[in-house]
Amino acid sequence: MQKFVIHGGKRLEGDITVQGAKNSALPILSAAMLCPEESILENCPELSDVYAACRILSSAGCDCRMQNHTVTVKADSIRNSEIPEDMMQEMRSSIIFLGAMLGRTGCCRLGYPGGCELGSRPIDLHLQAFRKMGVKIQEENGILTCTAPGGLHGAKIHLQFPSVGATENIMLAAVLAEGETSITNAAREPEISDLANYLRNCGANITGEGSSTIVIQGVKELHGCTYRIMPDRIVAATWLAAAAVTGGTIRLLEADTPSMEGILDIWEQMHCQCSYTEKTICFSAGKPLHAVRFLKTMPYPGFPTDAQAIVTAALCTAKGTSVIEETIFENRFRHVDALVRMGADIRTAGRIAVIRGVRQLHGAPVSATDLRGGAALLTAALGAQGETVLTELSHIDRGYDSPEKILQSVGADIRRV
């Protein structure tokens, strides 16, 4: 079993180039299944979730290769419209292959996506939308058989919640469907816009992404293209947190600053200094960090649930008391117990966490419980006094490409053993 051994308290300083976004790469890999011609996807992060997506494509019969952060996908023929159960269990995002598979072949057989550490994560919004588009769904022993005997047709779909996954799935199913699909109360996350940009480059007709109404006119076929995956705003936020807890100064290169406004605002509230251009963020830690009176996670452009754990870790040693409300997932404070073991003063009640800043955290043996919770423990360990041994790295490897190498390059004392 691999673990990180971290000796905290080293001030981080230097440049970090931000990796490509996992939450863009996965839906775009799924979208590549809609294109019989080759797609070349650059800036793909090398992550276990990306490898899992490549395995789903290969099992469907696509030719999929990864080299030097570039994935080449050719989906000239789809041999198998069943997504194997082990692949569905491997990652939650496997569900976004349903929309692409339906769009391409008109049928798909799959199990429910892997159980998730964050809460129940239902897919009812996805399935309701597909039914409106002409898909018949039968369920037997937890396996869904989805077929569109008359082909998929456009529909007017209103989402009761702006679900990122449901918005992506509907877009994937709609680009080759007959007629017009409109999605109201659509998710507005930047990764949705990245997916729309890729699909448009392949010949899709999509408007309105980034707003809450997306309109898709079905086209007869798509072609391939070369596309560069957008930078990862959550990974960028993690490196800012790491600099913040060590009193450091870093520069992020190839960031997507416009998509990070909600995140940068919080660091400014914590008395950190941020100056930025469209692709570069210069960041200096507040000395000391200041508490944030109230922070609530919200769908984009609100503060992202994915950055909540990381900011919580930084607030542990901020001056004053911070209150965080998690509104997206019911079970997203699982990292708190380990932070408390490292000396943090945090109380949780349901979806609220109250963090009273302490002067210093100390190292401890801790385990990652989920991807961003793991990143939060990594952040806390970098600022803590003494040694932290962090286990269950498989969670972190789902979303961070070579994190120890990046942190070493800016002065952290971290080893993977």
211 phi-psi bin (left φ>0, alpha ψ -120 to 50, beta other): beta
- Asked if 117 interacts with ligand UD1 (CB under 6 A), we say no
- Asked if 306 interacts with ligand UD1 (CB under 6 A), we say yes
- Is residue 60 exposed (0-12), middle (13-18) or buried (19+ Cβ within 10 Å)? buried
Binding mask 231-250 for ligand UD1 (x = CB under 6 A): --------------------
The residue count for binding ligand UD1 (CB under 6 A) is: 19
By CB under 6 A, name the one of 239, 303, 329, 400 that touches ligand UD1.
329
Beta bridge partners of 227: 41
Determine which helix (DSSP H) or strand (DSSP E) holds 86, and give its type and residue range: helix 85-90
CB of 212: closest distance to ligand UD1 in angstroms?
12
> CA-CA distance, 371 to 125, in Å (whole number)?
24
Give the tokens for residue 247: 């009193």
- Asked if 122 interacts with ligand UD1 (CB under 6 A), we say yes
Nearer of residues 241 and 291 to ligand UD1, judged by Cβ:
241
Please report, as a single letter, which amino acid is at residue 109. Answer: R
Active site residue 225: no
By CB under 6 A, name the one of 12, 91, 108, 123 that touches ligand UD1.
123
Nearer of residues 96 and 242 to ligand UD1, judged by Cβ:
96
- Asked if 90 interacts with ligand UD1 (CB under 6 A), we say no
Instruction: Kindly provide the b/e burial profile for residues 300-338, where b requires at least 16 CB atoms within 10 angstroms of the residue's own CB.
Output: beebbbbbbbbbbbbbbbbeeebebebebbeebbbbbeb
Q: 319, 329, 327: which is closest to 293 by C-alpha?
A: 319
Binding mask 153-192 for ligand UD1 (x = CB under 6 A): --------x-xxxx----------------------x---
- Asked if 126 interacts with ligand UD1 (CB under 6 A), we say yes
- Asked if 335 interacts with ligand UD1 (CB under 6 A), we say no
Active site residues: 116
Q: Summarize as ranges the residues that interact with ligand UD1 (CB under 6 A).
A: 23, 121-126, 161, 163-166, 189, 299, 304-306, 328-329
